[in-house]
Structure 1
Amino acid sequence: MYECFLEIGFEAELNTEESPELLELAEELCNEHQHTRGAAITEFRKMILDREECFPYRMDDEFLLKFLRVRNFTVPRAHRLLVRYCAFREQYEHLYKGVDLWDLIKVKDAYEGTMLDRPDIGRLSIFRFGMWDPNEFPVEELVKAGMAMMEIGVRQPKLQVIGTTVLVDLEGITLRHVATLTPTVAYQIVCLMGVAVPGRLRSCHIINYSWILNTFFYLFKKFIPRDAWDRIHFHGNDLKSLHQHIDLECLPPRYGGTCRSSASFGVWLSKVKKYRNEQFDKEMKQIGYLMKE
C-alpha cells in the first residue's frame, strides 16, 4: 500500500498544474488573489526591467510567480529575493552549470523527504549529513544536490504555496564531517534554505545536537537573517520537544512518528528521472544542468 502511494507521489512530483483547491490555499497562505495576480506579475516584471539590478534567465509569468508566492505577493520583497537569487547563481555557477543532474543520485541518504505535504507543515525535508562519507565525494556534491532538489521542488505550484519544514538530524556527524565545512559552504546551504531561492521555509528543527558541534553552528549563525531565528528550534536529543512542533503523522518512525511515505534523495531523484517529460528536461537545461541519459 505504501509503495503504491509513494509511486503515485513520485509521478506527481512533475505536476505543474494548479487545482482550484491549491488556489484557495494560495489565497490563505500567500496572499494570492486571482483577480489581482496578473497585475502583481506585471508590476514585478516592470520593477525588474526598470531597476536593472538583476537579469533573470527567465521572465515568464510562471517563473516570477514563484518569487511572489514566497514573499506573500509583496512586490518589492519578491524583487529583493530575485536579486539575491540571480547574484547567487552568478557567484556559484559551478553548483548547476554543466552539472550532470542524474549523477547526483550518488548522494543517496544524506537527504530524505516525506511526501505527506500537509498545509500546516509543508513538505518535511530531512538532512542527515552523518549518512555521508566524506571519503566518497566532497561536500560540494551535497550542496549541488541541495540546489537541484530546490530547483525541482519549486517547479511544483503545491510546494511554492505550502513550503517546506526542515529537520536537521546531526546523528553520526563527526569532526571529520565538520572539518569539511567552510564558511563558503555554510553560506551556500543557508542561501538554499530560503535566503536566496524562491522556497518558503516554514521552520527548521535541529536534533541530536551536542556541544562538539558548536563550531558547526557558529559558521551558519553568521549568515542566517535575524528575522529567521524565531523559526529555528534546537531539540538536542529530545524527541518529545520535536513532537510539540511537528505532528507525529508527518514524522518517520525513527523520530517517533507514523509517516511511512518517505524516500531518500537517491530514490526520489531516480523516480524524477523515470517520470520526467520534455518540459522538465527543457527547464532543467535552461537552468544549466546536463540531462544525460
Structure 2
Amino acid sequence: MSDRKWVTEPDEYVCTLSEELQTMAEEELREDKHSRQTALASMREWIKQNPRIKNCRMDARFLLRFLRFKKFSVTLAQEALERYVLLRQTFGVAFNCLDITIPMMEDLTNRGYLFACPKRDSKGRRVIVARPGVFDLEEFTQGDMCRIHGIVYETLMEDEENQIRGFVHFADGQGVGFSYLTLFTIKEAVRIVKNGEVSK
C-alpha cells in the first residue's frame, strides 16, 4: 500500500510560527519539534495502513490541523481525520468542488451567509459569522450549504495561526424557520454534526 499516490505527498515541516505562537502551541497544545515530528510520522504510517482511507493529503500543514485540534493525542487525531474523510466521501458532490467562483457560492457570499471577520478578537482568534436566515430554501440546496461551509473552513484552516488560536462562532438566527429542519434528514444532520466538528 506504500506505493499509492496521495493528494499531496509527505513533506518536511518548516516552522514559520512566531515565538508567541510557538509558546502557545507548546503550552496549550503540547506541540514542540519532537512531538510534531513523531506525531506526523505516526499519522502518515497510519493513513497508509488504513483501508478506509482511499486518498488523503499527506502534507504537514493538513495533518497538523487534526493533531493541534486534539492537542497532539495521535489516537484522537487519527479518529478525527478518519471521520473527516468519511464525511467528505459521503457528501462528495459538495465537498469535491470547493470553488468560490461558482455563481451560487458567490451569491451566498454576497448575501453574507457565512464569513470570517477581517479582524481577530482580543485573543487573536478569527470570528466566523453565520446568517442562516439569508439561505433561501427555494434557491439553494443542501449541497450548496455543505459547499459554502467547506470553502470557508477549508480556507481558514490552511492558516496555522487559526489552527493554534482557534475560532469564535457567532450566529444570527433572524429569518430561520421550521422549514430549515427539512433541509437534511435526521441521519444526515447527525452525521454532519458528529463528523464535521472534527476539522474545525
**Could you say which TM-score interval applies, normalised by the shorter chain?**
0.7 to 0.9
* Counterpart secondary structure, 1:43: helix
Closer, same or farther in 2 for the Cα pair 1:113/1:61, shift >3 Å?
Answer: closer
Of stretches 158-167 and 45-54 in structure 1, the one that deviates more from structure 2 is 45-54
Residue 49 of structure 1 is matched in structure 2 by 48
Question: What is the CA–CA distance in structure 1 between the aligned matches of 2:87 and 2:155, rounded to whole Å?
Answer: 17
Closer, same or farther in 2 for the Cα pair 1:179/1:80, shift >3 Å?
Answer: closer
Amino acid at match of 1:91: T
Shift of 1:149: 0.9
Residues 192-218 of structure 1: CA deviation (Å, up to 9, x unaligned): 7523x2x2xxxxxxxxxxxxxxxxxxx
* Counterpart secondary structure, 2:31: coil
Q: Are 1:140 and 2:139 an aligned pair?
A: no
Number of aligned residue pairs = 182
Shift of 1:172: 1.3
| Of 138, 159, 164, the match for 1:161 | 164
Gaps of 5+ in 1: 1-15, 200-293
Closer, same or farther in 2 for the Cα pair 1:38/1:128, shift >3 Å?
Answer: same
Residue 82 of structure 1 is matched in structure 2 by 81
| Of 114, 117, 133, the match for 2:117 | 114
Closer, same or farther in 2 for the Cα pair 1:98/1:113, shift >3 Å?
Answer: closer
Residue 29 of structure 2 is matched in structure 1 by 30
* Counterpart secondary structure, 2:139: coil
Shift of 1:33: 1.1
Retained in 1: the 8 A contact 2:130–2:172?
Answer: yes
Retained in 1: the 8 A contact 2:98–2:150?
Answer: no
Shift of 1:75: 0.6
Closer, same or farther in 2 for the Cα pair 1:117/1:129, shift >3 Å?
Answer: same
Cα RMSD (Å):
2.5
Retained in 2: the 8 A contact 1:143–1:188?
Answer: no
Identity of aligned residues (%): 25
Residue 194 of structure 1 is matched in structure 2 by 197
Residue 123 of structure 1 is matched in structure 2 by 126
Equivalent runs, 1:280-291 vs 2, <5 Å = none
Retained in 1: the 8 A contact 2:83–2:195?
Answer: no
Retained in 1: the 8 A contact 2:87–2:192?
Answer: no
Residue 106 of structure 2 is matched in structure 1 by 105
Amino acid at match of 2:30: N
Retained in 2: the 8 A contact 1:119–1:162?
Answer: no
Residues 239-278 of structure 1: CA deviation (Å, up to 9, x unaligned): xxxxxxxxxxxxxxxxxxxxxxxxxxxxxxxxxxxxxxxx
Closer, same or farther in 2 for the Cα pair 1:135/1:183, shift >3 Å?
Answer: same
* Counterpart secondary structure, 1:101: coil
Residue 11 of structure 2 is matched in structure 1 by none
Question: What is the CA–CA distance in structure 2 between the aligned matches of 1:119 and 1:161, rounded to whole Å?
Answer: 15
Retained in 2: the 8 A contact 1:54–1:83?
Answer: yes
Closer, same or farther in 2 for the Cα pair 1:98/1:128, shift >3 Å?
Answer: closer
Question: What is the CA–CA distance in structure 2 between the aligned matches of 1:112 and 1:192, rounded to whole Å?
Answer: 21
Closer, same or farther in 2 for the Cα pair 1:193/1:89, shift >3 Å?
Answer: closer
Retained in 1: the 8 A contact 2:67–2:74?
Answer: yes
Retained in 2: the 8 A contact 1:17–1:157?
Answer: no
Shift of 1:30: 1.6
